[in-house]
């Protein structure tokens, strides 16, 4: 890529850095603005149950279909609900969906997972942005701090719980999240959004214009910063961050049958980090506090072409190129990813078929003094093909969906992922569906090539400390899942609906670290642990979502999740602890409750409440907590939106997640924020 172009983008992003005093000045100047467009607040208040049920989801089957016709545990987080919730980041917005466990770790780091096995790099969840995977091949999972999408640019978020979207490929094991951004035709004009609070500040600029009579484009630029938080002992940590980014999107109708979409973004992140690293020279804890700073640069370009051959036939070709570089305390990591994806959707009589082919190549280069010291340069390729046929067995009542994805990777070769689904609709009020699906989680570099210190201990029966060293396994196999799901959607009236899902997951070849040799090494012992596929597991639970329009001005949205995970050794395998006592295998709460109340006091004034209750995590990693957030939104005149947001109002601070790495755990503080949005 053109390095001077990247530097130019970074320079432009830095020019928009904003101080707290400037944000305050911008808030005052809003009341003098005269040439503003109409506000969207009345539009956001008008979405009823009929519209919610008719929202289309494309992630489950790679084709657009109404949510009520989807044979998967699907949920749509609408743009209206995101903007009214008071969420200020993408992981916060994801909490609006049932089944999602989004726990904050630091001011900029999150653990987001579905149906258990949480972690900062949750490796059984596939995340897409407009169909572009943001999965990292090094540790698995997602760097959520780098997915800073302006929430006003999101059209909706599609959440598929369970392996209901395996057509997207490996790692879509416990779920898929697809963030769909708005078409540029909806974002013409200029928008300025400022946020100022006691914990975080940001400024976002957006400008959209028409491209003649053929299309539209928009340009975004934003800056965001946050201060450090306290650790669990009440001491201030240096773990804040500063982030800048610029991005663009263009949508062009080249012909009446062809649509071309181009996107790009350049991001720069400076993340302050506080670590406790193993050190033999600091007994009895053998931990040394290190304050460090990671520097991240992330650039991507994507193109999507859609050709409508007829009303029953559509072709889509999508490609993206991403360059990523991160410098941390011990590691410099460079990853370049090229992805090509083609699909064809057609319908003929009682068959609705989608098939496609894909290719992905990741080139990784490391300069590491830590756990990936043995990994220097790799070239990873994935080839895949998929097909799915939705067969209408009884017109307008019963459908059978059969499909599979075949994926070939360099580590485990060919991985089939078949799926069998059925959906029955008695009428517009009752929908019943069920499924049996196989999904896989393919190995990452942290499974096969890791080699480094995990921690240092000094057991009572040894005179010398013991270094715990984790070693990767080049023969690590894919983790597999066979899932059974049963779902029911009930729309009782135009004002009340219920969506429930029961699931049972059968896991095999689950990752576990077992001890190998214990070696004496001068002033210490070294206990090596090797990663292998030693475990079996089961997971089961209930997911519930309900919508109730109490009156034209009051709406309530309830979601509840109950889940249990149980792991055990395979026959002939053993370890030093029981799998269910390992906190990193069962690190997900058993119960999550969310109640969102949307109250329109006037057409231009909203007051919304969001109550969340999360139970204890197994293995005592985090105590349960209850939070209350609120947002007051006001439109003083057309084109101006003001909001006051309060978070974690029930207590001064609380703890959500026990970091599995070296980062020092932090408390999530109470926060207040004022936001101003100007639309010209």
Q: Say how many C-beta atoms besides its own lie within 10 A of residue 517's C-beta.
A: 8
The answer to whether the beta carbons of residues 60 and 161 sit under 8 Å apart is no
Beta-strand pair 175-181/125-129: parallel
Q: What percent of the chain has pLDDT over 90?
A: 54
Superfamily of domain 3-679: TonB-dependent receptor, beta-barrel domain (2.40.170.20)
Q: For tokens 């302006």, what's the residue?
A: 150
| Rounded-to-integer distance, Cα 438 and Cα 511, Å | 18
User: Where does the pLDDT of residue 288 fall: very low under 50, low under 70, confident under 90, or very high at 90 and above?
Assistant: confident
The set of residues, in sequence order, having a beta carbon less than 8 Å from that of 589 and lying 6+ positions away, is 101, 614, 615, 616, 617, 622, 624
Structure tokens at 111: 């653990």
Q: For tokens 């808030």, what's the residue?
A: 27
HEC sequence for 226-282: ECCCEECCCCECCCCEEEEEEEEEEEEECCCCEEEEEEEEEEEEEEEEEEEEECCCC
| Rounded-to-integer distance, Cα 145 and Cα 122, Å | 14
User: Where does the pLDDT of residue 374 fall: very low under 50, low under 70, confident under 90, or very high at 90 and above?
Assistant: low
Q: Mean pLDDT throughout 312-335?
A: 90
Which residues in 552-647 belong to E strands, given as ranges?
Answer: 554-569, 591-602, 605-614, 625-637, 640-647
The answer to whether the beta carbons of residues 480 and 306 sit under 8 Å apart is no
Q: Say how many C-beta atoms besides its own lie within 10 A of residue 5's C-beta.
A: 11
**Total residues belonging to the chain:** 680
| Rounded-to-integer distance, Cα 90 and Cα 144, Å | 8
Lowest-pLDDT range, 33-37, 164-168, 445-449, 673-677? 33-37
| Rounded-to-integer distance, Cα 380 and Cα 620, Å | 38
Q: Across-strand partners of 133?
A: 128
Can you give the pLDDT at residue 19?
40
Structure confidence by residue, pLDDT tens digits, 584-611: 566 689 999 999 999 999 989 999 999 9
Distances (CA, A) of 425 to 180, 392, 396, 435: 27, 12, 7, 15
Q: Mean pLDDT throughout 160-178?
A: 85
User: Where does the pLDDT of residue 60 fall: very low under 50, low under 70, confident under 90, or very high at 90 and above?
Assistant: confident
Structure confidence by residue, pLDDT tens digits, 377-421: 678 899 999 999 999 999 999 999 999 999 999 888 899 999 999
Q: For tokens 């003649």, what's the residue?
A: 212
User: Where does the pLDDT of residue 283 fall: very low under 50, low under 70, confident under 90, or very high at 90 and above?
Assistant: confident
The answer to whether the beta carbons of residues 674 and 88 sit under 8 Å apart is no
Q: What's the CA dihedral at 17, 21, 24, 29 to 10 degrees? A: -80
Query: Helix or strand or coil: residue 664?
Result: coil
Q: Mean pLDDT throughout 278-283?
A: 82
Q: What percent of the chain has pLDDT over 70?
A: 88
Above 60 in pLDDT, residue 11? Answer: no
Structure confidence by residue, pLDDT tens digits, 236-249: 888 889 999 999 99
Structure tokens at 451: 């080699």
The set of residues, in sequence order, having a beta carbon less than 8 Å from that of 413 and lying 6+ positions away, is none
State phi, psi for 316 to the nearest 5 degrees. Answer: -135, 130
The answer to whether the beta carbons of residues 428 and 491 sit under 8 Å apart is yes
Above 70 in pLDDT, residue 27? Answer: no
User: Where does the pLDDT of residue 52 fall: very low under 50, low under 70, confident under 90, or very high at 90 and above?
Assistant: low
- Is the alpha carbon torsion for 75, 81, 82, 85 positive or negative? negative
Structure tokens at 166: 């395996």
Can you give the pLDDT at residue 141?
83
- Is the alpha carbon torsion for 279, 284, 274, 88 positive or negative? positive
Q: Say how many C-beta atoms besides its own lie within 10 A of residue 646's C-beta.
A: 16
Structure tokens at 357: 């082919």
Distances (CA, A) of 555 to 56, 199, 564, 566, 635: 21, 30, 31, 37, 20
Structure confidence by residue, pLDDT tens digits, 413-452: 899 999 999 999 988 899 999 999 999 999 988 888 887 7
User: Where does the pLDDT of residue 370 fall: very low under 50, low under 70, confident under 90, or very high at 90 and above?
Assistant: low
Q: Which of 562, 545, 560 minimizes the C-alpha distance to 498?
A: 545
Half-sphere exposure of 584 (CA within 13 A, CB side): 13
pTM of the model: 0.90
Q: Which of 366, 241, 371, 222 minimizes the C-alpha distance to 293?
A: 241
Cis peptide before 590 (omega within 30 of 0): no
């Amino acid at each position: 890529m053109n390095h001077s172009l990247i530097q130019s983008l970074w320079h432009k992003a830095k020019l928009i850095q904003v101080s707290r005093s400037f944000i305050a000045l911008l808030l005052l100047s809003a009341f003098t603005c005269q040439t503003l467009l109409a506000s969207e607040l009345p539009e956001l208040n008008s979405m009823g149950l009929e519209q919610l049920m008719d929202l289309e989801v494309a992630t489950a089957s790679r084709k657009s279909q109404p949510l009520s016709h989807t044979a998967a545990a699907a949920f749509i987080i609408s743009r209206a609900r995101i903007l009214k919730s008071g969420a200020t980041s993408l992981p916060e917005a994801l909490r609006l969906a049932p089944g999602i466990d989004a726990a904050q770790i630091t001011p900029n780091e999150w653990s987001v997972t579905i149906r258990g096995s949480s972690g900062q790099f949750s490796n059984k969840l596939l995340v897409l942005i407009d169909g572009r995977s943001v999965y990292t091949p090094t540790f698995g999972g997602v760097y959520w701090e780098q997915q800073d999408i302006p929430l006003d640019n999101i059209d909706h978020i599609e959440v598929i719980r369970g392996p209901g979207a395996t057509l997207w490929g490996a790692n879509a094991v416990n779920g898929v999240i697809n963030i769909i951004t708005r078409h540029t035709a909806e974002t013409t004009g200029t928008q300025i959004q400022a946020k100022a609070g006691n914990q975080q500040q940001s400024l976002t600029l957006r400008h959209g214009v028409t491209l003649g009579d053929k299309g539209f484009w928009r340009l975004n630029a934003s800056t965001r910063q946050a201060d450090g938080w306290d650790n669990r002992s009440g001491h201030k940590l240096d773990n804040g961050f500063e982030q800048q980014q610029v991005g663009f999107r263009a949508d062009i109708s080249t012909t009446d049958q062809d649509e071309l979409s181009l996107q790009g973004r350049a991001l720069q992140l400076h993340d302050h980090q506080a670590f406790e690293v193993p050190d033999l020279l600091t007994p009895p804890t053998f931990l040394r506090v290190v304050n460090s700073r990671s520097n991240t640069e992330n650039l991507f370009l994507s193109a999507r072409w859609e050709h409508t051959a007829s009303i029953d036939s559509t072709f889509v070709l999508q490609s993206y190129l991403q360059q990523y570089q991160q410098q941390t305390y011990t590691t410099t990591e460079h990853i370049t990813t090229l992805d090509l994806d083609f699909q064809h959707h057609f319908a003929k009589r009682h068959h609705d078929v989608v098939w496609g082919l894909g290719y992905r190549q990741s080139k990784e280069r490391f300069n590491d003094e830590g756990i990936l010291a043995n990994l220097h340069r790799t070239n990873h390729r994935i080839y895949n093909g998929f097909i799915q046929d939705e067969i209408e067995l009884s017109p307008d009542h019963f459908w059978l969906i059969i499909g599979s994805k075949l994926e070939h990777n360099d580590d485990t070769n060919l991985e089939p992922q078949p799926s069998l689904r059925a959906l029955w609709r008695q009428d517009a009020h009752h929908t019943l569906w069920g499924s049996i699906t196989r999904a896989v989680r393919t190995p990452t570099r942290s499974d096969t090539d890791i080699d480094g210190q995990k921690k240092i201990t000094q057991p009572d029966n040894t005179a010398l400390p013991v270094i715990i060293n984790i070693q990767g396994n080049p023969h690590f196999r894919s983790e597999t899942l066979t899932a059974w799901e049963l779902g029911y959607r009930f729309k009782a009236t135009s004002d009340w609906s219920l969506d429930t899902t029961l699931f049972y997951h059968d896991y095999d070849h689950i990752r576990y670290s077992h001890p190998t040799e214990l070696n004496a090494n001068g002033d210490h012992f070294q206990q090596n642990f090797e990663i292998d596929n030693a475990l079996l597991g089961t997971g089961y639970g209930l997911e519930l979502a309900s919508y109730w329009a109490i009156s034209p001005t009051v709406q309530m949205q309830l979601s509840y999740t109950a889940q249990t995970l149980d792991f055990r050794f395979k026959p002939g395998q053993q370890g030093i602890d029981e799998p269910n006592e390992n906190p990193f295998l069962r690190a997900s709460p058993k119960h999550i409750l969310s109640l969102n109340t949307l109250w329109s006091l006037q057409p231009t004034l909203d007051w919304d409440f969001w109550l969340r209750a999360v139970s204890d995590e197994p293995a005592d990693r985090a105590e349960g907590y209850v939070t209350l957030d609120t947002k007051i939104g006001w439109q003083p005149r057309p084109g101006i939106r003001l909001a006051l947001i309060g978070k974690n109002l029930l207590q001064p601070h609380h703890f959500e997640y026990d970091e599995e790495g070296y980062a020092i755990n932090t408390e999530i503080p109470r926060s207040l924020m004022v936001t101003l949005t100007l639309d010209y």
